[in-house]
Amino acid sequence: MTDPTSTKVTIIHCWSAPRSRSTALLYSFEARDDCCALDEPLYRQWMIDNPQIPRPYRKEMIEGAPGWEKEQPALSERLQKAISSSHRVIFCKHMAKHAPQFDFNQYPETETVRHKHVLLIRDPVAVLSSWKQSSEVHGEDIPTASEIGLLDLLQIHAKVSDTAVVLNSDDLVQNPPHVLNELCDSLNIPYTEQMMRWKNGPHECDGPWAPWWYHQVHQSVSWNESNEIETRYRTVPVEFQPCLQVSYAAYQYFMTLQKQPVIPFEYEDPRNAQLLVYIGTSGRGGRLIPRNQAGVSPWDSSVQGGDAVWEGIRVYRGKLLHLDQHLRRLLNSAKALGFQQIHTKDQITQAIFQTLAANGMRDGAHMRLTLTRGEKYSSSMNPVFNVYGTTLIVLAEWKPTQGRTTYDNVKGVSLISASQRRNSPNTVDSKIHHNNLINNILPKIQANLANCADAIMLDVDGYVAETNATNLFLVDQEGVLVTPSPDHCLPGITRNTVLELARELNFHIQERRVSLAEFHFAEEVFTTGTMGEVTPVTCIDGRVIGSGVRGPITTRLQDVYQTLPERDDYATAIPAFY
C-alpha cells in the first residue's frame, strides 16, 4: 500500500521491449509534479559496447556532439543529480537489451532511496505485426528474439523477481486509471491524475534520438489517444514465426505471473495454488507443468468436441482407492469410443505416481484423469485427423473429504428433481465415462439455483436413473437397500463397492427400476461417488426424507467404507517419494 508519509526517493527502473508504449509511460510519469524522467540513460554505453549496431546518430551520441551532451554522464551520476533535486520520484525508461549495462547489485535500498523495477511487456504478436511497417528495422527484414526483448526481460526478472512489477501495456491502454493506480500502489507512491495526460510534440525528457523514433507518440496527449493511434490491423509475416514462437513462450510466462484468484477463497487448500499438472501424449511422452502455465492445444479433441474420457480417484493415507477399476473403466471407455494410439495402463500409472510425488501427495487428495482422443492436425470433428495419439491429463488437488467442494456426509444434503432426462443407451451410453457432460451440467445449474447439492435425473420412461454427479440408493420401509438398475446411469465404482459392502453386512439388496415417489417416501436415501463417498440425503423436492437426519444403514456403510484404504483388495499403495 502507498505510504503517504514516506520521505524516500523512489527510483523506478522501467524495462521494456520495442513497441511496448514505454515512451507514453515515460511521458505519463514526466507529467507528475514530483517526478524527474530519464529517457534510456544506458543507451550510450550500450552503443559503445555494441559497435556493430548501426544507428544514424552513433558518432554524435558517443562523442557528445551538440544536442547530445546530456547522454555523456553515467547512470549513477545522472541519478545522483536527480536525487539532489526536489523530486521524490525518478522514472528511468530502459530498453531490456540495455540490461548488461546495469549493475543490479549497485543500487540497494537505503534510508533515503529505494529502487523499484517495472517490467513492461506486450504481446509479441502485436510487436511483430507492426515491425515491418517501422523504420526501426533499418534494412533488417527479420527481427531476432533479442530485438523483441522478451528473453532479455526474462533474465531481468530472474534478478529482481522478488520486487519486480510485471505490467502488461495492453492492460494499461485498456484501463489507464485503474492500472496506473495499481502500479503506483505497487511502487509505494501516490497516484495522481496528472499521469493521464501530457503535452503533444517533443518533450523535455526526450533523448536526442526522439526525431527518429517518437513520431507516433508525439501525436498523442493522453492514454486514450495513444491507444487509438496504435490501433491497426496487420499481418504477421510468416518469416517472423521462429522469432514469434520463442518470444511468445517468454510472454506466456509473464502472463502467468499476473493470474490472481478470482475470489479470496478460490483455493479450499492454499497448497492448490502451486500444483504441478501432468500433460502428455502417448506418442511424445509428457511433462509436469505448473498450474498457471498448464493447458492443452485448441486443436485437442477435448476442446473441439468434448471428445475425451475421464476418471476421479481418491488418495487416502498413502493409498489410491480403486485404481485398477478406474484405469480399466478409463481404457474401456476409450476403446468404446474408438480412440487410437492409446496410452497404456503402465504409462498412465507412471504418470499418476509422478504427479503425486511431484506434489508431495499421500493423503487428503483427489485426482482427475482425462484421456482425450488427442490433438488434430486440422480443425474437424473427424477422428481421422487425430494422428498424434491420445492426450493424458493428470490433475491432482488437495481436497478434504468434508469441505466446500465436497458434500456434507454428516448433516446430509438436499436434492431436487431435474427437468432434463438422462441419456439412454440408444443416444449416448452412460457406461462410457465420457466428457460430454452438458447433460449433467444443466441439471447441476438447476440444483444451484434451488440451493441444493445435486439434481435427480429420470430416464426416458420417468424412472430414477442417478443424480447429475452420483449414483443413488434408498432404504425402504422394510429395510431393503434399493438402487436403480444401471441401464440409464453409470454403474459407478463406488456404487459397486457399496453393493459389495452391503452383501458383507448381510443387507437385503434390490437393483431394479425405481420411481421418484419411492425416493420421496423412503426411510433413508444416500448418494455414492468417488468425490463424496457415501452422502446422506435428508430432503428431496422439499420433502423430508425419513426423520430428516442421517440414517443407521447409511451410517453403517460410511463406517465400513472408511476402512477400505487398509484393504488390499480395494487400495493400491503409492510408491515412496524421494
Residue range 479-538, pLDDT digits in tens? 999 999 999 999 999 999 999 999 999 999 999 999 999 999 999 999 999 999 999 999
d(CA 492, CA 531): 12
Q: What is the CATH number of the domain that holds 534?
A: 3.20.10.10
Of 235, 257, 279, the domain-final residue: 257
In a domain, 578, yes or no: no
Same domain, 129 and 214: yes
Mean predicted lDDT score pLDDT of the chain? 91
Given a cut of 90, is residue 156 above it in pLDDT? yes
pLDDT of residue 5: 53
Same domain, 392 and 417: no
In a domain, 121, yes or no: yes
d(CA 23, CA 94): 10
Burial 370-387 (b: 16+ CB within 10 A, else e): bbbbbbbeeeeeebebbe
The pLDDT confidence band at residue 31, using thresholds 50, 70 and 90, is very high
Q: What is the CATH number of the domain that holds 393?
A: 3.30.470.10
Mean pLDDT over 151-163 rounds to 91
Range of the domain at 526: 413-566
pLDDT digits (tens, 9 = 90+) for 270-286: 899 889 999 999 978 89
pLDDT of residue 259: 62
**Which one is predicted more confidently, 131 or 424?**
424
Of 227, 257, 287, the domain-final residue: 257
Same domain, 538 and 418: yes
Helix (H) or strand (E) segment spanning residue 14: strand 9-16
In a domain, 405, yes or no: no
pLDDT of residue 137: 43
pLDDT of residue 136: 44
Same domain, 212 and 303: no
Q: Which of 11-20, 82-91, 232-241, 524-533 has the highest mean pLDDT?
A: 524-533
In a domain, 72, yes or no: yes
Q: CA geometry: angle at 170 spanning 165 and 173, to 5°? A: 100
d(CA 97, CA 147): 7
pLDDT of residue 265: 58
Same domain, 252 and 295: no
Domain count, the chain: 3
Same domain, 42 and 191: yes
In a domain, 376, yes or no: yes
Terminal-to-terminal C-alpha distance of the chain: 41
Same domain, 216 and 340: no
pLDDT of residue 231: 53
d(CA 452, CA 415): 5
Q: What percent of the chain has pLDDT over 90?
A: 75
Mean pLDDT over 351-365 rounds to 96
Measured N-to-C along each axis, helices 241-257 and 124-131 cross at an angle, to the nearest 10 degrees, of: 150
In a domain, 265, yes or no: no
Given a cut of 60, is residue 227 above it in pLDDT? no
In a domain, 574, yes or no: no
pLDDT of residue 229: 47
Same domain, 130 and 189: yes
What length does the chain have?
578
Same domain, 197 and 313: no
Mean pLDDT over 233-246 rounds to 84
Of 208, 226, 257, the domain-final residue: 257
Specify the pairing of strand 533-540 against strand 524-529: antiparallel
- In order of 46, 98, 138, 347, 491, the CA distances from 52 in angstroms are 11, 15, 13, 52, 71
Given a cut of 80, is residue 247 above it in pLDDT? yes
d(CA 578, CA 575): 10
Q: Which of 286, 276, 275, 294 is nearest to 351 (CA)?
A: 286
What SS3 string covers 151-220? Answer: HHHHHHHHHHCCCCEEEEHHHHHHCHHHHHHHHHHHHCCCCCHHHHECCCCCCCCCCCCHHHHCHHHHCC
Given a cut of 60, is residue 248 above it in pLDDT? yes
Q: Which of 517, 536, 516 is nearest to 526 (CA)?
A: 536
Same domain, 559 and 492: yes
The pLDDT confidence band at residue 142, using thresholds 50, 70 and 90, is confident
In a domain, 1, yes or no: no
Given a cut of 60, is residue 263 above it in pLDDT? no
pLDDT of residue 237: 82
pTM of the model: 0.81
**Which one is predicted more confidently, 226 or 99?**
99
Same domain, 101 and 47: yes
The pLDDT confidence band at residue 6, using thresholds 50, 70 and 90, is low
The pLDDT confidence band at residue 401, using thresholds 50, 70 and 90, is confident
Same domain, 130 and 216: yes
pLDDT digits (tens, 9 = 90+) for 116-137: 999 999 988 888 887 766 544 4
Mean pLDDT over 303-308 rounds to 94
